[in-house]
Structure 1
Amino acid sequence: MTTTVRQVLEAKGGKVFCVAPETTAFQALGLMAEHNIGAVLVTDNERLAGIFTERDYARKVVLKGLRSTDVSVRELMTASPQTVRLDQTVDEVMNIMTERRFRHLPVLEGERIVGLISIGDVVKSVIDEQRRTISHLSNYIAGDIAT
């Protein structure tokens, strides 16, 4: 069985944290710290405008000597980020993340934001699927030996 993005979101929940483009980096980081997350989506009138991550902060604020209280996420975000669909497989998402070096991907259904999938979500899904396979094979072997 191949796990889909829909199944991953059903297991973890579809809660997504969003900020407006004019939100300061400092405010966005506060939200991220409060919810122990590594990224927030940037939305403009409920439409995906970008994504702001810890990596964006480290590379675009800290290394450039900017002040997080003075710079908006609009200036720092990755605009028009790569997105994935609910029907895509975890293998497809893992390939995108690996090839493009992304740790977070917004999930869209049409134009509507329905979730955010992280590399941690993908790894957990792969491990869970491997555990199910091992359990299934163990039960199969045990059944063969008993007969």
Structure 2
Amino acid sequence: MQVQHVMGKKPINALWSVTSYNTVFEALELMAEKNIGAVLVIEDDELIGIFSERDYARKVVLQGRASRDTIIGDVMTSRVITVEIDQKIEECMQIMSDRHIRHLPVNRGGKLVGIISINDIVSAIISEQKEHINTLESYIAGVPYV
């Protein structure tokens, strides 16, 4: 299964972002409103970073910063790892595991088209495994699987 299969199950235009000049509080409001764990940081149509709940905990709360006074550019992760839409989800899971990250922005031909989370990948793998199990059960029972 490829990333495009995971992306196909996500809402269209579900690409939530802020700029490096937004405050952390504004980013948190967006994350709460959309029920997401990270937002992309985009300026001039270019991905320049990502801000996640982990960034908030480690770079704002633990450092005693105020979310209303801190700008995203000061606390975002600027070295963003991305994947291509035709990559296999197993590769994405390996990247996330190796790099200890939970979100991967997705590109198609160098253009940002979305973001996937570890939850998206786990759900896709579970769905794929259920499909295999159903097919095998049907085969064993001698009933064609539809």
TM-score, scaled to structure 2:
0.94
Structure 2: how far apart are the matches of 1:53 and 1:80?
A: 13
- Where does structure 1 differ by over 3 angstroms across 4 or more consecutive aligned residues? none
Contact 1:106 1:117 in 2 (8 A): yes
1:5 aligned partner: 3
Residue type matched to 2:90 in 1? D
**Post-superposition offset of 1:13:** 3.0
Residue type matched to 1:75 in 2? D
Unaligned runs of 5+ in 1: none
1:59 aligned partner: 58
What's the CA shift string for 1:89-144, capped at 9, x where partnerless?
A: 11000000011111001001233210100000010001000000000000111118
> Secondary structure, in 3 states, of the residue corresponding to 2:8?
helix
> Secondary structure, in 3 states, of the residue corresponding to 2:31?
helix
Structure 1: how far apart are the matches of 2:131 and 2:9?
A: 15
Identical amino acids, percent of aligned pairs: 49
Which protein has the bigger helix share? 1
Q: CA RMSD in A?
A: 1.0
1:80 aligned partner: 79
Q: Is 1:132 matched up with 2:131?
A: yes
Residue type matched to 1:49 in 2? I
Structure 1: how far apart are the matches of 2:114 and 2:11?
A: 8
Structure 2: how far apart are the matches of 1:50 and 1:58?
A: 17
Q: Is 1:105 matched up with 2:114?
A: no
Structure 2: how far apart are the matches of 1:138 and 1:27?
A: 50
1:119 aligned partner: 118
Structure 1: how far apart are the matches of 2:6 and 2:114?
A: 10
Aligned residues: 142
**Post-superposition offset of 1:12:** 1.8
Residue type matched to 1:63 in 2? L
**Post-superposition offset of 1:80:** 3.0
Residue type matched to 2:36 in 1? I
Q: Which moved more, 1:94-103 or 1:106-115?
A: 106-115
Structure 2: how far apart are the matches of 1:18 and 1:111?
A: 18
Structure 1: how far apart are the matches of 2:108 and 2:124?
A: 21
Structure 2: how far apart are the matches of 1:99 and 1:56?
A: 18
Unaligned runs of 5+ in 2: none
Structure 1: how far apart are the matches of 2:137 and 2:10?
A: 27
> Secondary structure, in 3 states, of the residue corresponding to 1:79?
coil
